[in-house]
Amino acid sequence: MSVVEKKEITVAEAKALLEAKAEELDPLQRRVLDYTVRFAKTGSADSDKLVAELMDKGEIDRQLAVQLANCMPGSIAEIRTFLGRQRIISEEAVGSILTIIKKYRVTP
């Protein structure tokens, strides 16, 4: 595989990309595929929609939206750990982020 574009992607998107080229993967790429199969929290299409919806809130960038989509935090406190001290976001905005994440959460 060669680098076509460089951007943050979710684990689910990486899984879809690697599964499409499954026959051509080297051993390291196969280990990464195994990881993505175990840890993808949503499907590729859903994770892409989730990232887009989180970014539409206007208060978070793509990198943070991807991290939230990968981890799918279940509480405001968990979301705040991703925000860190450098980002101050209102309680209302964090609550709406949690609502969006819960909409895409797959319950086992």
Tokens at residue 52, please? Answer: 């887009």
Cα–Cα distance, 32 to 17 (Å, whole number): 11
Measure the CA dihedral 11/13/17/18, to 10°: 20
Give residue 1's pLDDT. 61
Say which residues have a Cβ less than 8 Å from residue 104's Cβ, sequence separation at least 6.
42, 46, 47, 49, 50, 69, 72
80 sits in which H/E element: helix 76-83
Give residue 107's pLDDT. 63
Yes or no: is domain 44-104 CATH 1.10.150.80?
Answer: yes
pTM beyond 0.95, yes or no: no
Mean pLDDT by 10 residues, the chain (108 residues): 84 93 92 93 90 86 93 92 78 90 80
Q: Per-domain residue ranges for the chain?
A: 44-104
